[in-house]
Chains A and B, each alone.
Chain A
């Protein structure tokens, strides 16, 4: 070990000495003649600008070092701010040094040059001629071109075809299938089933189908209770309410956000009537009329789920939604959801 260190030390000393000793001039290879005319004009020195630039560079180096230090020293308060400040200042001061260099230390030449020619008619002609003359052996030009085109097109279709595996194909059943079948219980986010008696007026609840995937678009419901005499359900939603309790898909029919606002008047004589509102574009739905749109850009009423109360007082679905859940698409009014 000691020997190795000694050898290393000797090598280092020799290396340093070699660098400091005067060198032999290199053998003249193809030493070019000194330039007769300057390409870049000479400029006057600006020592102040030089000092400024050097100062900025050094400051930048300091900041960069500070960045490394802050990075290594973990658990500093406001660590992200210190890191950003040090690296940012490092970059900005080196940038400033370069800009000073560019504006004051480097000769700013304003040169002139010709724009390249607008076009090259001779070469264009040659290209056209080359292409034209290359077909001298073809007799059925149009047919050949047609063949090439057909082959190319068919090959392109063939190469693109596997992309279809990315999607589920043209089957859109998944857009209308829901986990709500007749008799499914409504449960809360923790899986506890809702009793009809739990549902109070002037508030709202989020419900899910028991045992189903909650993230599925058709799963979440928003459930509210209205005074039965305030209900004004259309014919197609007759019987959908259970003792004044109504349930709608929680997914807005405009663009698919969750409807998490329920406005309910404390003083109905003077305040707007109860409504479900979506926070994305403020589509507003009236639960008393089966989820019709009363404000905002949604073009389709909120899908309503028929409810019933079972023998033990639990809330259950009495069927499926009266329309597909989620944003509108081509067949959304033509298909009925199924479980």
Chain B
């Protein structure tokens, strides 16, 4: 794959829309566009200008279009770029792209515009990843994270951390390289405090990964319960469509069914499961095992029960059974009393658990359930614009940095010599650098020379 040629792709979703935007990028982008464009000479137009004209193939007019000109380096890819807005017919679009290809451009690979933006220094790695996330974001919250990250919010927080750490590393280097001189030594208590402070921020970022991740991929909500308590009916009510087959027959749902739904801008992934019971039916038994698996891997468990058929003590036994699972996975258990239309008795009082009465069939109580689900997400963190990590690579790098910093702490407590401390610090810096760009020894020395009086 060459990185210097001119690439073309349809920038709007395929299918018939009112308009389609075809994007070209590369050294020859403007020249190629100009060769099929009848109107002004595009090669002589200023950057960031818009021009009306016709796309023609020989004498045949294909469409009337608007061409936007971006002259390198003032474009997203930092290359010459043209965006042609044409009418949104699949035929017209394919004709124009074919024509452009015949003039020497080639089809862009998935993500290639962003890759070029990265390779040309427009974006750093985490920003480029954010663009990919942004394009894929399907709900308000993940859109916000991706936007924040693309604007550098995430990188800049790490940059700040990095420079604190460089300060610290410089002090240790100073101790090592200028040990013969009258230099100040790195105060171990202060060092420790600094590391603890940095660890706190890193830990917060690591923890935010869980939040970032669920926002990006949808919060898994499993609907569990005994057979025939109305789990599938609840799923259908939440999705507002007949997704699962419902019947009066216990054990109708034999396998798990998943679907996604955006509630108040947050993406949830609902998983309907086979009712849990002892069964001799081989297929149903497999379904039950699958249910347990899903319960174990979900952030939220909606435990649905039929109050008319479940006693308080029975319910308490079930809660006790769930307890270890919840504790292990740090998940949340919701009690959902279904069929409130049939059962008029007051709900059981159970302390410390969210408890909602609904009728999935009549769709009553659904709004309350949705509100409760949204409440689970730490919206405060989102709204405050705090950095949230939503990318596995970043989370791993942070985790590695944290491990290295823990080692430094350990090294301070059980004194190891500062050259080994320095090595652990360097490791931490390197892991942070994997996200934002790496540290060089020149950074350290510059820091030393600018701050400390050294030299015999």
> Do A and B truly interact?
no
